[in-house]
């Protein structure tokens, strides 16, 4: 959208200027404009480019529920968050630099899943289906309810996609997509 407005009106804004304006529309906008793999800090506006993620299949499944990000944050009790629930950011960055997908997946963590996952057990069910079909790991994205899983095997990823899209597990997710990482800047 911002690229289109920039071009259509001949604004001549740099990507950095577009990212600065984009964060006012949503915290994810700068990341989408930057493209590729990046470390995101702050509310998403502080981005540091990283080497490309190791190529793999990414399965994305969204159950037929909606989640209020505001309500999730309001329900999060920082005192109850265990150290193990936090992602190992430094370890993940190091694993990305080594192109070690298994180690990247092993560093997953999402403290917001403590709130959303408790309220919506379908999230854990989708994660388990992905793991049962061979995902190296699966986790809720952001405040939810979307779940993603990383697969080394294209065949396993396709089978998991078909199970969640058409099979007996299809009642768990209303939207299911199979893709891979976009690593081009």
Does residue 109 have a cis bond before it (omega within 30 degrees)? no
Mind listing the pLDDT tens digit for each residue in 81-134?
Answer: 765 567 789 999 999 999 999 999 999 888 899 899 999 999 999 999 999 999
- What's this model's pTM, rounded to 2 decimal places? 0.86
**Torsions phi, psi for 23 (to 5 deg):** -65, -25
Give dist(CA 22, CA 113) in Å, integer.
Answer: 26
| β-pair partners for 175 | 62
Give dist(CA 106, CA 52) in Å, integer.
Answer: 18
Please work out, in degrees rounded to the nearest 5, the angle formed at the alpha carbon of residue 87 by the alpha carbons of 155 and 25: 90
Torsion sign over Cα 122, 43, 38, 92: negative
Give start-end residues of each CATH 3.30.70.890 domain in the chain: 52-180
Position 43 confidence tier, pLDDT thresholds 50, 70, 90: confident
The token duo for 184 is: 């081009």
The CATH code that applies to domain 52-180 is 3.30.70.890
The pLDDT, as a whole number, for residue 77 is: 78
Give dist(CA 127, CA 134) in Å, integer.
Answer: 11
The token duo for 149 is: 């899983």
Position 171 confidence tier, pLDDT thresholds 50, 70, 90: very high
């Amino acid at each position: 959208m911002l690229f289109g407005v920039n071009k259509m009106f001949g604004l001549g804004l740099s990507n950095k200027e577009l990212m600065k304006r984009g964060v006012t529309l949503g915290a994810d906008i700068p990341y989408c404009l930057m493209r590729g793999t990046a470390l995101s800090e702050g509310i998403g506006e502080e981005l540091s480019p990283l080497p490309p993620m190791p190529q793999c299949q990414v399965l994305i499944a969204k159950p037929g529920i909606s989640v209020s990000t505001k309500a999730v944050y309001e329900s999060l009790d920082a005192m109850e968050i265990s150290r193990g629930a936090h992602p190992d950011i430094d370890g993940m960055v190091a694993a990305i630099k080594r192109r070690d997908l298994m180690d990247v997946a092993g560093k997953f963590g999402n403290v917001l899943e403590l709130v959303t996952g408790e309220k919506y057990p379908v999230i854990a069910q989708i994660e388990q289906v992905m793991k049962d079909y061979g995902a190296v790991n699966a986790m809720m994205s952001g405040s939810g309810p979307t779940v993603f899983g990383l697969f080394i095997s294209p065949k396993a990823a396709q089978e998991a996609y078909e199970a969640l899209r058409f099979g007996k597990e299809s009642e768990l997710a209303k939207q299911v997509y199979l893709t891979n990482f976009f690593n081009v800047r």
